[in-house]
Structure 1
């Protein structure tokens, strides 16, 4: 039997119950060992539902359990930094939901703390674990599309519930932080480059004060990314990488169903789509893969798939986004 890492889930947040726990329980190297909530009844109900051995009535109690080696943090955005710090100081390895931090200063402090504590810490961009993106990387490496000229995409959904954390400004709500980070993340991942400057046209919801939709133009050294993101549009996601010879289209780039095949389309002669090849990726759950990759990094003392340095790079972009919205113009990524 393969050795497994004992995981504690910090809270009964819906993404944990609906996505993370069921997926990690299928993992080869991950064992969901404990769950906590500030309401012990909720923690016990979740533990019973998923067959989790331990339940705690506070976050602190879970972090004090010496049998837990790693924690997953699916808390609201504004609590990510605080509890990542507390978990690392408790000697736990940490995988935290994105965005892990909301500022460059926070990211820099976390990197220093990680190094001093000697733990693993990662940002939970599950897309980095999905094999469709390694497939896209191979296409780029092979020169399939010629010279990349531009990237286009979008990630949108609809909720106007005032109780939803995505609509609460103080909780780090808004479209860009919630789903608008994904087109940026995968573009950085594929290009192996960091953005130079960006321009944001944001529509601010007068009720919530959050960006309910935004259009972004992001300049990289080699090409430009343009995309739309929204928390109040019809559900939509797509990414296209347009080159001098062909186009790569990914119709389900960010949260493809775990029980369905995913597809990458390579098109030549894009006006008529008369010559299109299709690459099929077998069904998989990128949350399972993400948990196992992080667990294996702990077991083998290797680098995290999405380390804290990624959070620092993304934080630089987020700060430029805020500057662009503030000045209604271009902002350098510093």
Structure 2
């Protein structure tokens, strides 16, 4: 499985490319970026060729492209890669809105190519364990989901503070609890209300909350932001018990998750094996490419539908949110 990497981002340097370069059955052939100097450093570290972005997509020795560009560029470059006949794994979110997401999905389907977002947490087995407990009736009838992904303030020059590059807390960390709600509650989620704390100088969203409702009446409240101590968790409540998952979105590879099931007079802990969710993400993507038939494969259809549904929720939050301006940090 021959990969090219488009983008010289921090996550590519720290996490994605070290994992990709060491994954079995995967060959990192080339990396491309705007800066020849920076691209050269990436190529030297990972033992691959340096390339210009356009030239990377023209190569005939690549099966797929991993894209880690600013969010505002995801649509344009993913579309170019798909038109070039390359399967695409693009960093989350897939685009800046649902219209862009639908356009990419149509393009991938027309060319029978695998198109996925790099939501690593979806590949961690702790969520399958949650689904198993839910299916066994341990929670009873689900009624509520509480989920949050919040991080401390970023360095002032971080691109996630630049609106023109697709910045803002909703697109960066807010999409995680939204995608978790889609995973746990299924399709058809609607936004019942939302708030956004926005930077007074330019309206960039720094944090927010949203209330969702599923077709069966399960309520989900999500929180996200750049203004908090770290939190990455969700709790699913039923009429018999509550199940909590800590480090839900970013567990390190050596971390052993513990699911906490709280009943009326009983608390049970389920300690699970450690798992490298990023490695599993890459290897699962590669296997989907090898299998073929992406346009009609049920798993790929579900993933594409979920990507669009998540962006539809993003659009609805933007449309409905009560915006609360806050002073810029010094």
Q: Given the two structures, how large is their TM-score scaled by the length of structure 1?
A: 0.90
* Structure 2 unmatched runs, 5+: 325-330
Q: Flag structure 1 segments of 5+ consecutive residues without an equivalent.
A: 329-334
Instruction: Provide the residue aligned with 1:282 in structure 2.
Output: 273
Within 5 Å, give how 1:41-80 maps onto structure 2.
41-51=37-47, 53-56=48-51, 58-80=52-74
- SS in structure 2 opposite 1:193? coil
After superposition, the C-alpha distances for 1:201-257 in whole angstroms (9 at most, x for unaligned) are: 111111342111112111112301112211121111221001111111001100001
* Other structure's SS at 1:307 match: helix
Is the CA contact 1:198–1:217 (under 8 Å) kept in the aligned structure 2? yes
The answer to whether the 8 A contact 1:294-1:305 is kept is no
2:239 to 244, 269, 272: 244
Q: Is the Cα–Cα contact under 8 Å of residues 13 and 42 in structure 2 kept in the other structure? A: yes
Instruction: Tell me which of 138, 142, 145 is aligned to 1:148.
Output: 142
Residue 319 (structure 1) aligned with residue 310 (structure 2): no
Q: Is the 8 A contact 1:123 1:310 kept in 2?
A: no
- Seen in structure 2, the aligned counterparts of structure 1 residues 98 and 135 have a Cα distance that, compared at 3 Å, is same
CA distance in 1, matches of 2:281, 2:272: 17
Q: Take 1:133 and 1:214, find their aligned partners in 2: how far apart are those partners? A: 24
Give deviations 1:239-294, integer Å, cap 9, x for gaps: 1001111111001100001122112111112xxxx622222222221111001111
**Deviation readout 1:281-322 (Å, 9 max, x if unpaired):** 222211110011110001012544973322211121111011
- Measured in 2, the distance between the counterparts of 1:160 and 1:199 equals 27
Picking from 262, 285, 300, the partner of 2:291 is 300
| Structure 2 counterpart SS, 1:242 | strand
Note closer, same or farther for the CA distance 1:175–1:215 as it changes in structure 2 (3 Å cut).
same
1:27 aligns with 2:18: no
Question: Please, which moves more after superposition, 225-234 or 80-89?
Answer: 225-234
Provide the residue aligned with 2:2 in structure 1. Answer: 6
In the superposition, relative to structure 1, how do residues 89 and 133 fare at CA in structure 2: closer, same or farther (>3 Å)?
same
Out of 83, 106, 111, the residue aligned to residue 89 of structure 1 is: 83
In 2, Cα distance between equivalents of 1:286 and 1:327: 35
Q: How many correspondences in the alignment? A: 318
The two structures have a TM-score, normalised by structure 2, of 0.91
After TM superposition, the structure 1 = structure 2 runs for residues 156-235 of structure 1, keeping only pairs within 5 Å, are: 156-222=150-216, 223-235=218-230
Measure, in 1, the Cα distance between the counterparts of 2:29 and 2:272: 31
RMSD: 1.8
